[in-house]
Chains A and B, each alone.
Chain A
Amino acid sequence: DQQVKQNSPSLSVQEGRISILNCDYTNSMFDYFLWYKKYPAEGPTFLISISSIKDKNEDGRFTVFLNKSAKHLSLHIVPSQPGDSAVYFCAASARGSGGSNYKLTFGKGTLLTVNP
C-alpha cells in the first residue's frame, strides 16, 4: 500500500520556465511533508518542508504548496535551471502521533530534466 505517490516518473521543462512536481498521499495522519533532491549515486539532499498548519512555504526559487483537503502537495521551481535536473522525492511523516513516529515515508520519485 503506497501511502505517498508521485504519479509522474519524469518531467521535462525548458530552462527558465516553471517546474511543477506533484505528490499525493493517502494517510490522513501525515502532518509534515518534505522534498528531497537526489543526483545519481549520491544521497538525497533536503530541499524544503511544510507543516500541515500551513498551505505554502517558500525558499528562494522553491515553493511548496499543500492542499490538505485533496491530500496533495506540489513543489514549484521558478525559474528552472539545468542544475536542477535530478530525481525529486516527496516524503511525509506523522509528527502528531504521540511523538513516537519519526519515520519518513517516501514516494518513488520524479526525474526532472531541465533542458538548456
Chain B
Amino acid sequence: DGGITQSPKYLFRKEGQNVTLSCEQNLNHDAMYWYRQDPGQGLRLIYYSQIVNDFQKGDIAEGYSVSREKKESFPLTVTSAQKNPTAFYLCASSTFGSGRTDTQYFGPGTRLTVL
C-alpha cells in the first residue's frame, strides 16, 4: 500500500525539550511538506523540500528544523525555541518536476502536547 506514515500518533513533551516527528512516504514523491494545524485555523506551512538535501522555510519556520537525507523521509524537529508547540502536525508529499502536480497527499498527523 502506497502512502504517508507519521509516527507517533500522539506525543507528549516536557517544556524545554526537543522532539522529532517522523514522516515517511513510499509514493516516490519528490516534494515533502510539514504543516501545523491549530484549533479553528487552517494549515500553516512550516518547511518544505522539493529534492533530497534541500529544503526551504515556510511561513512559520521559527523554532523548527528539518532534514531531507533520503527521498522517502522528512523528519521535523520541534525545538525548545518554539513558543507554542502544542498543535496537530501534518506531513504531506507531492510530485515535482515534469510530473508535477499541486495535489498534496497528507499523512494521518501527529498530535503534540507540551506539558
Given A9-B40, A89-B43, A106-B42, answer yes or no on A43-B107 (Cβ-Cβ < 8 Å).
yes
Partner of A102, one of B6, B43, B48: B48
Residue among A36, A42, A43, A49 with max Cβ neighbours from chain B (10 Å): A43
CB of A109 within 8 A of CB of B90, answer no
Q: How far is the CA of A104 from the CA of B101 in the complex (A)?
A: 11
Q: Which of B20-46 contact A (CB under 8 A)?
A: 31, 35, 40-45
CB of B102 within 8 A of CB of A109, answer no
Partner of A49, one of B44, B45, B102: B102
* A53-91 vs B, Cβ < 8 Å mask (1 yes, 0 no): 000000000000000000000000000000000000101
CB of B58 within 8 A of CB of A41, answer no
Given A108-B40, A108-B42, answer yes or no on A102-B106 (Cβ-Cβ < 8 Å).
no
* Consensus secondary structure, chain A interface: loop
Chain A minimum-CB-distance residue to B105: A46
Q: How far is the CA of A27 from the CA of B42 in the complex (A)?
A: 17
CB of A109 within 8 A of CB of B42, answer yes
Q: Which of B92-115 contact A (CB under 8 A)?
A: 92, 94, 96, 100, 102-109, 111
Q: How far is the CA of A49 from the CA of B102 in the complex (A)?
A: 9
A12 at the interface (CB under 8 A from B): no
Chain B minimum-CB-distance residue to A109: B42
Given contacts A9-B40, A44-B43, A107-B42, 5 further A-B contacts (CB under 8 A): A41-B111, A43-B106, A43-B107, A44-B106, A102-B48
Q: A interface vs B, CB < 8 Å?
A: 4, 9, 32, 34, 36, 41-46, 49, 89, 91, 93, 95, 99, 102-104, 106-109
The 10 closest A-B pairs by CB, nearest first: A43-B106, A106-B42, A106-B43, A108-B42, A93-B102, A44-B106, A32-B102, A43-B108, A43-B109, A43-B107
